[in-house]
Amino acid sequence: MTQDGSMARRPLLMAAGLGSGSAAQAQSPLRLTLATATPGGGFPAYGAAFVGAIAAADPSIVIEARNTAGSLENVTLLADRTVDLALVAGETATAALARGAGITLLAAMYAQPGLFGLRADSPARSIADLRGKRIAWGARGSGFVVLARQVMGGLGLDIERDFEGVLLDRAGDGPAMVMDGRVAALWGGGAGWPGFVTLAASPQGLRFLAPDAAERARILAADPALRPMALPPGSYAGQTTPVDSVGTWSLVLARPGLDEEAGFRIATALHAARADLAARLPQASETTAANTAAAVADPALIHPGVRRFLRGAELLR
């Protein structure tokens, strides 16, 4: 038995249908829509990996990913039942779940520590050095903009008043603006984020800037919704040391009324696909049943079908 008891759970998980390709293929077709974000950002990359890995694990599940303006629009689309699933960041996801309107948690995605990405030759060495400078905070409606307001707000700063803020029409526009000097930094976060991947591969190189220890303490005291997080070494080319910061988890949410069986089938396929999902997108290795079970304090906020799966896996009571 492993330390977390996973071997002890294996018969139960197999009984629930995990790893049974023939059983999955015998299911009736399930067609769903998934809202992501603007092209060039982390959510579309995750959405493509999520759709592909689930389809490989269970070809009867067909999920169509759709680009949107980001987390804020995604919550509206879910509430209106315009889409079935959506990727939603941090506090925006937490608020959507807390409203009691029937939106539920389908899966934990990954942790997103907030960071500034700068050219390696930038003279800035602290957040104070960036005050008054042009900063690309992210795409309009993005969860990264919400996170920026939380983090900077904890330091008594405003992203418009204390910086020359730039909101992007497309998340993918940010790296070029850093490389050619139109902005001093690009705000983003998490491992494998496309904007930082592009900067790390550029001739100018990439350097990170994050709140220092005293600033992190102030931010966490001001906003309990945030958590201490670190970007692991090797998350980007040339990054040899961890970067400590603060951030939130991004989540896959389900619309009100999504069928229980649909949630159960997706949770089953997602668990079977976890190695494939991580291979498609390294940060998606954090999309695990255990992280989903721990993502909310109240299990009632988890989709009923996912709850059933997690109980069968002995991850929920």
CB 42 within 8 A of CB 175: no
pLDDT band at residue 27 under the 50/70/90 scheme? confident
Final residue belonging to a domain, choices 213, 233, 248: 248
CB 245 within 8 A of CB 231: yes
Q: What is the pLDDT of residue 100?
A: 87
| Shared domain check, 242 and 120 | yes
Helix, coil or strand: residue 38: coil
List CB contacts of 131: < 8 A, sequence separation 6 or more.
157, 162, 163
Nearest CA to 148 out of 178, 112, 175 is that of: 112
Q: What mean pLDDT, rounded, does the chain reach?
A: 90
The number of angstroms, rounded, from the C-alpha of 192 to the middle of its chain's C-alpha atoms is 11
| Shared domain check, 221 and 154 | yes
The answer to the question of residue 317 being in a domain is no
The model's pTM is 0.79
Q: Is 74 a residue whose pLDDT tops 50?
A: yes
Helix, coil or strand: residue 310: helix
Residue 41 in tokens? 């950002």
Average pLDDT over residues 14-25: 41
pLDDT, tens digit (0-9, with 9 covering 90-100), for 261-284: 999 999 999 999 999 999 999 889
Name the DSSP letter for residue 90: H
The answer to the question of residue 1 being in a domain is no
pLDDT band at residue 190 under the 50/70/90 scheme? confident
The answer to the question of residue 84 being in a domain is yes
> How many Å apart are CA 148 and CA 19, to the nearest integer?
40
Residue 60 in tokens? 């009867």
| Shared domain check, 81 and 64 | yes
Helices 42-57/260-272 angle, 10° precision: 90
Average pLDDT over residues 180-186: 97
| Shared domain check, 280 and 238 | no
| Shared domain check, 254 and 273 | yes
Final residue belonging to a domain, choices 248, 267, 285: 248
| Shared domain check, 106 and 255 | yes
Counting the structural domains of the chain, the total is: 2
Final residue belonging to a domain, choices 248, 266, 293: 248
- Count the residues in the chain: 317
Residue 105 phi/psi, 5-degree rounding, is -85, 125
Residue 105, number of CB atoms within 10 A of its CB = 25
Q: What is the pLDDT of residue 130?
A: 98
Helix, coil or strand: residue 138: strand
| Shared domain check, 270 and 211 | no
Q: Is 107 a residue whose pLDDT tops 70?
A: yes
Residue 93 in tokens? 């996801």
Range of the domain at 230: 112-248
